[in-house]
């Protein structure tokens, strides 16, 4: 995962699947990026390179959403593949994630 911040957004670019074997290290990196980007208003999870999301990956996205809320930031998802967009819709997260 890498991240980029501008005046208004922090973009978290995931470069691997959001699955049980990757979630722990991704969460640490993402939380750090959110903490040091205190001046942005929106956190964006870019899923354009993510092929698979399991239950732990969904939990990661929910945790990041909550972390963003706690930091008074909006949270959105972009770049989800059709399959991942369908998964987010199936679990009723697409509206909450505004993307």
What residue spans define the domains of the chain?
2-90
Task: Specify the CATH superfamily of domain 2-90.
Answer: STAS domain (3.30.750.24)
- pLDDT-derived band at 4, boundaries 50, 70, 90: very high
Helix (H, G, I), strand (E, B) or coil at 50: coil
**Residue range 45-69, pLDDT digits in tens:** 999 999 999 999 999 999 999 999 9
Whole-model pTM over 0.75 = yes
With a CB cutoff of 8 Å and minimum separation 6, the contacts of 14 are: 1, 26, 45, 46, 47, 49, 50
């Amino acid at each position: 995962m890498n991240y980029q911040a501008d005046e208004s957004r922090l973009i978290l670019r995931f470069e691997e699947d959001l699955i049980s074997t990757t979630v722990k290290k991704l969460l640490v990196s993402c939380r750090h990026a959110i903490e040091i980007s205190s001046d942005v208003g929106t956190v964006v999870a870019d899923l354009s390179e993510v092929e698979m999301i399991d239950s732990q990956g969904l939990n990661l996205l929910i945790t990041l959403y909550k972390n963003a809320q706690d930091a008074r930031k909006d949270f959105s998802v972009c770049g989800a593949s059709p399959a991942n967009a369908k998964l987010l819709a199936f679990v009723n997260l697409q509206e909450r994630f505004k993307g």
